[in-house]
Amino acid sequence: MKYLQYLAAILAVAPSILAAPNTGRDGNPYLGVQPYANKGYAAKLEETIKYFNKEKDYLNAARTRSVQKVPTFGWVSNSAAVPDLKGLFSEALAAQRRTGKKQLVQVVVYNLPDRDCSAKASDGEFHLSDDGLNKYKAFIDSVAAEFSTKDAQKLQFSIILEPDSLGNLVTNLNVEKCANAADAYREGTSYAIAKLQKENIALYLDAAHGGWLGWNDNLAPSAKVFGEVLEGAKAINPSAKVRGLAINVSNYNQYIAPVREDYTEWSNSWDEWHYVNSLTPHLEEAGYPAHFIVDQGRSGKAGIRTEWGQWCNIKNAGFGTRPTADQKILNNTNVDAIVWVKPGGESDGTSDETAVRFDTMCKSPVAHIPAPEAGDWFNDYVVNLVKNAEPALRPSLI
């Protein structure tokens, strides 16, 4: 009897530790868990801290230490990155044991064949001219295997599939590379959905952003594409589910813009909050779950662009709203959470005109120059993200 009374007392005072989180497949995966702040990104920020300390800017050095504690996504952008998942899961499990809080590990899977078909900066390792689709499926099988280990089964996961992919099937089929890759994008994404079906995994397809797919003429076609890709997954695995969509990944649109910018004049989706509202009824009609996560990692600053199409290393950007699932901040029941997807400090693309992956947008009037290759660490850029953060970052000494 004393044992039962003791157990009841523990349950009463520690619900946050013992309460089961929502399952990734059927509920908001960001409730009842602690999104994991991965150590790999935190380690890269040490260079930024050293820079600020050298400049005797101790306030911003302390603010950068705060960024090290912000939950961010790990990216699996090529085959070589797949084994890194094991270490990420191990680190998250250590945090789970240390804190007693269920860890939500956030991952982007980004490796379709002929990737980035409407631009050049992030072309990937697989190409359709070299059996790229079958190589991609083998890649997905290797990713799925990592999420099937005993360690993985002890965690929760939020996975974003293939940023900047399906949006091209709505707006960029006039680009030859996109037209040629369209079927592979559909089949590859459906295959990834079908193979990444676990009770502890929430899947979000990428839905670009309001400045791309949020125009009235693009909303219904976009929802149709998402619905068709999900049906393609069910043809492979009848129990296939997704949680919803990820928006604004690696982009700079604000969730709730304080001022409507001039170049948004003709769109109802003039910030990401409005984009959610614009797209939701079309998703419901297409039979696709209308749940969203919104990247605000580099969206703190307004007034830094002159058009929506400017996407590469935008000057004067700042870290944005911190990750949260608090509806007092989200103010939209279709939004699961604000997240930081793009690791602030990894370049969008090189400004070197002689590089194979050079894209003219990376040398536009609003781009931060010089810039390294896409994915490479860009410390000068992080310095500005810290200084321009909105809301301002709180300093941390540890």
CA angle 286, 172, 205 (to 5 degrees): 45
Q: Is 340 annotated as a binding residue?
A: no
348 given a catalytic annotation: yes
Give me the count of residues in the chain: 398
Task: Please give the angle made by the CA atoms of 31, 97 and 36, to the nearest 5 degrees.
Answer: 45
Task: Report the phi/psi class of residue 204: left, alpha or beta, with left for phi > 0 and alpha for psi in -120 to 50.
Answer: beta
| Selected catalytic residue, list 206, 271, 336, 348 | 348
Cα separation values, 384 from 65, 234, 247, 319, 321, Å: 15, 44, 23, 9, 16
241 labelled binding-site residue: no
Ligand-binding site membership of 212 (annotated): yes
Catalytic residue among 164, 271, 336, 359: 164
- Whether 342 has a binding-site annotation, put simply, is yes
* 346 assigned ligand-binding residue: yes
Cα angle 61, 63, 64 (rounded to 5 degrees) comes to 65
Listed in sequence order, the residues at least 6 apart from 204 whose beta carbon sits closer than 8 Å to its beta carbon are 158, 159, 160, 161, 242, 243, 244, 245, 246, 291, 292, 293
Instruction: Please pick, among 116, 206, 271, 359, the residue that the annotation labels catalytic.
Output: 116
- To the question of whether residue 251 is assigned a binding role by annotation, the answer is yes
Active site residue 123: no
Q: What pairing do the DSSP bridges indicate for beta strands 201-206 and 335-339?
A: unpaired
Residue 291 in marked binding region: no
Give me the active site residues, please: 116, 164, 348
Residues making up the annotated binding site for substrate are: 75, 209, 212, 251, 311, 342, 346
